[in-house]
Amino acid sequence: MASTIKVTVFVVKEGQIFKKVMQYNVPRDASASAIVEMVSNTTREGQHAITLLKPNVHLSPQGSKSLRELLDVHDGDLEAFCQVIPDDENPVSDIVQAATTSTRSHHDARNTALIVDIEPARPVRRVPRNTAPQEVHNGIEELEKAFERVRLEKDRPTPSVSTQPPKYAQFQRGPTAIFDGRYAGSSLRMAVPIELYHPVFAAFLADAFDQNLQPPDDIICQTAKIMHVTSEISTAEQQRQRVIREFLVDVLGHGIQQIVNLNKTSPDHFAPHMCRMAPVGIAALAFFEEKPELGSGGEGSVQGSFSYLEYWADKPQE
């Protein structure tokens, strides 16, 4: 028995059939997602936009004309004569067998035709050229004003105090609120999805929900250790900070330090990056805030936002 199966793929986008018919030799034990990945590499279309279908009628590798007729009869509705193949369906040999059985044909099961439907890209609203520079200028101007308001604010509470609900609510009602989804008697403070700032965030989310992803053994061991350490009841924040910092260094593979701003505020942990090109200085890759136990202080993720604000508005960061 052959270890691969020859699969013919017709590609349809917005009702139009690609002139080029794709043919792949796919491992018999591969899942449908392997075919989707192959099509994505060939067409340069994102995998998220690709839907794989198996026709309920026989299509030969030269069946573009028959497929066109079927699309015309069903007003472009592929699912009227096809079944959607889930990404987790496996193996490919089962898909081929199902397709062969459903068409009730005696064509060669080692050369089966499938169909790919590519979702059209969503239209992007573009700013007219004659207004874009002014809008960009206004956006930067507002950011500069917000920075100046924060920097010039006197007697600003420390991050640990700002995290307490009364102070937190007061801050979120102000002109320099943090866009973290939390609001207090004001409009919802929502920012754009973080994935738009850098693709690493989207990649992390994809990996986090990938049940087939196997993390490196050292990461698993270090994670188990840090879970063990944090399970110990702690009554002193500094006692835990020292131990946690050591584990963060091992897990992240990056130096973790403490910094003190000019106003004497200091986050629990700080991951620095030295910028050697202008503007020369130290950039913050990450801030870490922790508490001995839940309920012993403000919420850590909120305090992290205020710690970043203090660093952002610190005089040396100008």
Which phi and psi (to 5°) does residue 283 adopt? Answer: -95, 150
What is the full per-residue pLDDT of the chain (318 aa) written as tens digits?
A: 458 888 889 999 888 888 888 888 888 888 888 888 888 888 888 888 888 888 888 887 777 888 888 888 888 888 889 888 876 656 777 776 654 444 444 444 444 788 888 887 555 444 454 545 555 556 677 777 877 877 777 678 889 899 988 999 998 888 788 888 888 877 778 888 888 888 888 998 898 888 888 888 888 888 888 888 888 887 777 777 777 888 888 878 888 888 888 878 888 889 988 888 777 778 888 888 887 777 667 788 899 899 988 888 887 776
Pairing of strands 111-118, 50-55: antiparallel
What's the residue count for the chain? 318
pTM, two decimal places = 0.50
Gap between the Cα atoms of 141 and 308, Å rounded: 21
Helix H or strand E segment including 99: helix 92-103
What tokens were used for 62? 């030269």
Query: What are the structural domains of the chain?
Result: 4-118 (3.10.20.90), 216-317 (no CATH)
Q: How many CA atoms lie within 13 A of 178 on its CB side?
A: 21
What tokens were used for 135? 């809008």
